[in-house]
Structure 1
Amino acid sequence: MPSLVNQGRVQGVEPPIDMDWLYPDPNTNLVISLMVVRAHAGDSRLNHWELFWEVRGEGDKAIRKISLEEARDKDHNRLNHLTYWGPVTKQISSTSRIHRAHKLPVGFISLASRGQLEAIARETQVMSPNHNGRLWNCQDFTTAVLHKAVQCGILKKETVDAALQTAACIQ
């Protein structure tokens, strides 16, 4: 399956706004979770998966996430592939999808380990969405990041495997 150049980023398109300047990742151990947002179609293979951790839990809440997005051109038209812009910090509103998503813990790790997790994601290839009749999506990307984190000793295999198994069954 061919990988996309530059993790699917389109030249001339700006990345999403990153609020890390306002909500920096704290120098403490935090829970890393796999977020599963159910697809409207009811097929678990179409559910959206991403990794996240809370960087601010009081007042204006914020999360840092590792997530693929639908690629768009400079006119905001949808393209037929996904993009990874890198880790992004976002503020959580009362209507954010995190409130209706399934959240599965995959680890409790330090700031340095979260930096390693982010580096793994930056090195993980974004693939073409459909090759030989098989859908490649955010689930494949997230699984690859988690498996590499286990190989590097950042996360525990048993915890990751249990979360992935549960996530795959969410309808």
Structure 2
Amino acid sequence: MTPSEPAIDLTAFPFMSEKWKAVMKWPSSHLMYPPISFDLPDPDKDSEVCLWVRLPLPQSPYLPPTPVRVEDFHWSIRWGIGNQGLLPLSYERIVEVERASPVSPHLTNWGPLTKVVRPSAEQEMAKIPIATMTLKQRQLLELLAITQPVKEPDGDWNCQNWTTSVLFRAASVEDPIVQANNGPLLTPEQVNNVLFQARNIKHEV
């Protein structure tokens, strides 16, 4: 900390973990606030990994109907990590590609993220179980997602294609990352079953 920077009295934050206190002691010029996964790690236990399909919002009865295509639904891979914080909230781990902003034509892979589970999630999305995985297996899935290329959506390629590629890599015996980590996480049959369900989601417009 430089002489021009006032010290932060960390005794005012008794709930703050030691890791956060260490971060707060960095010079402000180097301060980068960690994601919430910094304090809420993925627990070392088996978890059900699911494909979540975001359903379309109900259309207004006062506007002309807009065509809804299953191919345009947003897909993401998620699993719960429970309630680990001070607040009565549930958290989940997410791997996905999404638009950086509503007006952006590009998709961005932010890497694995930990987020709060929104109470409305069950109503807004359909959940399709993929498999129950250990922490090590989920970390391998995250590694596959991090290294999966992202293309610009063009009307044919979108987040569904990216998610499909990640799942099939997890079932591949030829993928070098999978080979280096004790083999596939899934079978091609499991992946095809999940994709079939996702592409045949029943929804109300």
Q: If the TM-score is normalised by the length of the shorter chain, which range does it land in?
A: 0.7 to 0.9
Per the alignment, residue 44 of structure 2 pairs with 27
Letter in 2 for 1:88: L
> Whole-Å Cα distance in 2 between the matches of residues 33 and 143 of structure 1?
13
> Whole-Å Cα distance in 1 between the matches of residues 124 and 153 of structure 2?
26
Q: 2:146 aligns with which of 101, 108, 122?
A: 122
Q: Which has the higher strand share?
A: 1
Q: 1:112 aligns with which of 127, 136, 158?
A: 136
5+ residue gaps in structure 2? Answer: 1-33, 58-66, 173-177, 179-183
Per the alignment, residue 143 of structure 1 pairs with 164
2:78 is equivalent to residue 61 of structure 1? no
Contact 1:52 1:64 in 2 (8 A): yes
Letter in 2 for 1:142: T
Render the CA deviation track for 1:20-74: whole Å, top value 9, x for unaligned. Answer: 12321000111100000123452101101000000115841000000111124xx
TM-score (norm 1): 0.78
Letter in 2 for 1:166: Q
Per the alignment, residue 91 of structure 1 pairs with 116
Tell me the C-alpha RMSD between the 2 structures. Answer: 1.9
Contact 1:39 1:48 in 2 (8 A): no
Answer 1 or 2: higher relative contact order, Cα 8 Å, separation at least 6: 1
5+ residue gaps in structure 1? Answer: 1-16
The percent identity for this pair of structures is: 29
Which secondary structure does the structure 2 equivalent of 1:53 belong to?
Answer: strand
Aligned residue pair count: 147
TM-score (norm 2): 0.66
Contact 1:121 1:145 in 2 (8 A): yes
Per the alignment, residue 47 of structure 1 pairs with 73
CA spacing shift, 1:144–1:105, aligned 2, 3 Å: same
2:182 is equivalent to residue 158 of structure 1? no
Please tell me whether Structure 1 or Structure 2 has the larger radius of gyration of its CA atoms.
2
> Whole-Å Cα distance in 2 between the matches of residues 23 and 50 of structure 1?
20
> Whole-Å Cα distance in 2 between the matches of residues 86 and 29 of structure 1?
21
> Whole-Å Cα distance in 2 between the matches of residues 18 and 158 of structure 1?
35
